[in-house]
Amino acid sequence: MELINFAAIIGTLTVIFSLLAKILGQPDQIRKNFKRKSTEGLSTIMIVIAVISYSLWTIHGIIEKDWVLIFGQSLGVLTMSIILIQIILYKKKG
Q: Centre a 10 Å sphere on the Cβ of residue 85 and count the other Cβ atoms it contains.
A: 13
Q: Note the pTM of the prediction, 2 decimals.
A: 0.80
CA distance 22 to 41: 19
pLDDT for residue 45:
96
* Contact of 69 with 58, CB cutoff 8 Å: yes
Fold of the CATH domain 2-93: Monooxygenase (1.20.1280)
Question: pLDDT by residue (tens digit) across 66-78?
Answer: 888 888 899 999 9
CA distance 92 to 54: 26
Model confidence at 1, in pLDDT bands (50, 70, 90)?
Answer: low
State CA 18 to chain mean position distance. Answer: 8
pLDDT for 93 beyond 90: no
